[in-house]
Chain A
Amino acid sequence: MTSFTDSAAMALHLIFSLDPGLMAIVARSLWVSVCATAIACALGLVLGAVLGVARFAGRGALLALLNTFLAVPSVVVGLVVYLLLSRSGPLGFLGWLFSFKAMVLAQALLVLPVVTALTRQVVEDAEGLHGEQLQSLGARALLRSLLLAWDERYALLTVLLAAFGRAISEVGAVMIVGGNIDGFTRVMTTAIALETSKGDLPLALGLGLVLLLMVLLLNAALSLLRRRREQEEGVATALPRLELSV
């Protein structure tokens, strides 16, 4: 077996030589996660904002369910999407199983509760502080939720980055619904799992380093956002202190 230092050296070589195989996997991973995050945010930001302001019977139960979904393991999401998309499943007619679309769907479902729950919390806090004043100007619940979400956009950008971090670093769901097909549905996390099991440590390590770099960049972006908001308002920020992890 290749030693760790040899593997690390080869991994760095793969990265700096922009190895086509490694770059293709990285690009596919990014594209899947960007698409999934975009879909989840389009739905989750609006849903979370409305949940943050609206009061209705059964809201507590809905929030409890939403918070439960936060803890659902990615393999369970993968399994559900697999069952939905399998030939005998309700969405089998789409023919999406083991495709890029299936991976996007699985990741979107995985991060949708994250976006919704965090948005709900941010907007609910803002509603508690400022909702009454917007109400006094004539903003009804739906409009108020959207205005508050817009006003909390820096905090919600943090939510977006957190969602992307969760999407790109998950392995279970895309493995099940994508099938880890070389050149087709192989993404960074599934490739790392496969190459490690095969003993091809340089590629696995190279992908791992790229993944770490991405999370590092996301955390740097979060810090920049926080600093920008502090500068803009001249006060300590109330941005949620999220740190992303692989």
Chain B
Amino acid sequence: MSPVFALDQAAICFGTGARTLHALSELSLQIVQGERVALIGANGCGKSTLLRLLHGLLRPSSGVLRRDESLGQAMVFQRPYLMRTTAQNNVALGLWLRGKPWSKACLLAQDALLSVGMAEHALRPARKLSGGQQQRVALARAWALQPRVLLLDEPTSSLDPHAKREVEALIQHIALHDPAMTLVFASHNLGQVKRLASRVVYLEQGRVLADLPVQEFFASGALASRYPQAHSFVKGDLV
């Protein structure tokens, strides 16, 4: 199967000279269609940068990124940006920006909001919605684009536990709805990683230190012997 993403020795550097920050270094990774990849690691390890790179918001400073351009992509951010208009208009905006006529975009937006359980809030100002509801609108906006690849940057980290469960259930629903959809998400929540991912990539200081199927990753014996840093990270999180 041809990869959706293929990174070969890719690096991302910010700044120049002595102030250069190496956000990602010599990163090689392949993700194939239908995989559910969780990116984990401490704050600042490069998870968000990697997602931005995969989504085309950043270009590699060196190395190569190959993307399957035929597959539509959408990304949901930790704190979604919703414009000062209704939830429906926010969803329709994404469709309109991809070339759909506004009237058609509004109809599709209604369907998308219905599918995330937000139909009754469609005409409410988006910024008056709760954090969980806003994230659901953001997911609807992404889903409405019918992406084959969905990138999620810590989509539940700024939510309360109830909203967290709701949004996670929604992501699971989206993933189950289309088994061919590729999901790449960053998370600090290892329980969530266990529930959603099929593969776990552990990053440290912009490098991939461990890349394992999810069951293997959480089988502590294997992780401890092969990837001690990843093991201590997981252990620390579970304490």
Contact = CB atoms under 8 A, between A and B. Distances in A.
B93 A137 contact: yes
Given A139-B97, A143-B97, A134 B128 contact: no
Contact of A133 (B77, B98, B125, B127): B77
B34 interface: no
B141 A132 contact: no
B146 to A, nearest CB: 14
B125 A232 contact: yes
A135 B57 contact: yes
Interface in A53-107: none
A137 B128 contact: no
B57 A130 contact: no
Given A138-B97, A138-B98, A139-B97, A133 B128 contact: no
Contacts of A130: 81
A135 B97 CA distance: 10
A233 B55 contact: no
B97 A233 contact: no
Contacts of A147: 83, 93
8 contacts: A129-B81, A132-B52, A133-B77, A134-B81, A136-B77, A138-B97, A147-B83, A232-B127
A104 B79 CA distance: 45
A151 interface: yes
Interface residues of A, number: 18
A133 B81 contact: yes
Interface string B87-100: 00000011001100
A241 interface: no
B75 interface: yes
A233 B83 CA distance: 11
Given A137-B93, A139-B97, A233 B80 contact: no
A136, A139, A143, A234: residue with the most chain B Cβ atoms closer than 10 Å: A136
A153 interface: yes
Nearest to A138: B97
A232 B81 contact: no
A234 B74 CA distance: 29
Nearest to B74: A136
Nearest to A132: B57
Given A153-B84, A232-B127, A136 B98 contact: no
Secondary structure class of chain A's binding surface, majority of residues: helix
A234 B128 contact: yes
B53 to A, nearest CB: 12
Contacts of A137: 93-94, 97-98, 141
Nearest to A235: B127
Q: Which 8 A-B pairs have the closest CB atoms?
A: A130-B81, A133-B81, A138-B97, A137-B94, A151-B83, A136-B75, A137-B97, A233-B127
A157 B36 CA distance: 46
Contacts of A233: 127-128
Nearest to B93: A137
Nearest to A148: B83
Contacts of A151: 83-84
Nearest to A133: B81
Contacts of B81: 129-130, 133-134
Contact of B55 (A134, A136, A143, A234): A136
A53 to B, nearest CB: 14
A46 B83 CA distance: 19
Contacts of A135: 57
Contacts of B128: 232-234
Interface in B184-233: none
Contacts of B55: 136
B57 A136 contact: yes
Interface string B47-69: 00000100101000000000000
Interface string B105-148: 00000000000000000000101100000000000010000000
A234 B57 CA distance: 31
A34 to B, nearest CB: 26
A234 B84 CA distance: 13
Contacts of B74: 136
A154 to B, nearest CB: 8
